[in-house]
Amino acid sequence: MDEQRERRFLLLALGVIALYVSPLFILGENAHIRVHDNLDSNIAWYKVLAESGQITGPLDAKIPQIANGELSRNALGSELTGIVWLHALFPTMIAYALSQTITRVVAFVGMYLLLKTHILPERRWMAVRIGVALAFSLTLFWPSGMLSTLGIPLALWAFLNIRKGERSWKNYAVLTLLPLYSSFVLGFFFFLAAMGALWLLDVLRGKGWNIRFFASIAYMTLLYLLVEYRLVYSFLWEDEPTSRDEYFHARLTFWHCVRLTWKNFILG
């Protein structure tokens, strides 16, 4: 009885997510979407990359449509990232809508599994688990960030399973697939650093070296470096100046940053 009730709640939550993203599919190019750092840049870049013939171009390739053909191919992201292929295979708005759907469904599933397995496993918390997971999946995020933030609960679920000694293939499938639809620098660098700190804390507490847990952290980190090989190459070996070398944005005091953080968190 409880399982049937939970299944109905899960279907209802997925229905809410479907309703939330439906305007993107129904209205298409007439849908309301973010402009800044999205429609005015990243979406256009994916389109340009798709039409450049250089999606899988070499490290020294150039994008012919930008900067008189002098823009490095490495500036537009790796071809091993899923969002690049969505925009290559589908019209722009369909690709955008599919990306939103994938991200929000994975966010919901990840938070639900994390809560059910490690935080609120009791039956009495069923509605809370599903409600929190749904709320998390509908939060605002930067679209081109993909699962860099919303995929973290799913990754944490897998890592905590491995930490406890579980050897299911599902955990390693999660760690393998997430790097293909998220960004190392926009979220998972910090998350993996936190997992490393958790592993070290376990060692200091006398819980053993837990080689499997450590190896899983190293494995996901290595995958990110492979997926982001263009960024790694540009960072370590290219010496051409970029627009950020002379870029000045702002100089804020520490307490101004703290105040701004809370303002954005509460009002954002």
Q: How far apart are CA 266 and CA 268, in angstroms?
A: 6
For residues 181 and 83, is the Cβ–Cβ distance under 8 A? yes
Region of 127 on the Ramachandran plot (φ > 0 left; ψ -120 to 50 alpha; else beta): alpha
On the question of pLDDT at 75 being above 60, the answer is yes
For residues 88 and 78, is the Cβ–Cβ distance under 8 A? no
Region of 240 on the Ramachandran plot (φ > 0 left; ψ -120 to 50 alpha; else beta): beta
Region of 91 on the Ramachandran plot (φ > 0 left; ψ -120 to 50 alpha; else beta): beta
Share of the chain above pLDDT 70, in %: 95
**Span 193-228, pLDDT tens digits:** 999 999 999 999 988 899 999 999 999 999 999 999
**Span 149-166, pLDDT tens digits:** 999 999 999 999 999 999
Mean pLDDT value of segment 17-25? 96
For residues 158 and 179, is the Cβ–Cβ distance under 8 A? no
**Which stretches does DSSP call E strand in the chain?**
62-63, 71-72
Per-residue model confidence (pLDDT) at position 101: 96
Q: How far apart are CA 193 and CA 155, in angstroms?
A: 13
Write the CA distances from 131 to 12, 107, 169, integer angstroms.
10, 13, 28
**Residue 98, C-beta contacts closer than 8 angstroms, at least 6 positions apart:** 86, 90
**How many other CB atoms are found less than 10 A from the CB of residue 115?**
22
Nearest to 74 by CA among 187, 245, 246, 238: 238
Share of the chain above pLDDT 90, in %: 61
Residues of 210-248 as b/e, b for ≥16 C-beta within 10 angstroms?
A: beebbebbeebbebbeebbebbbebeeeeeeeeeeeeee
More confident of the two residues 5 and 20: 20
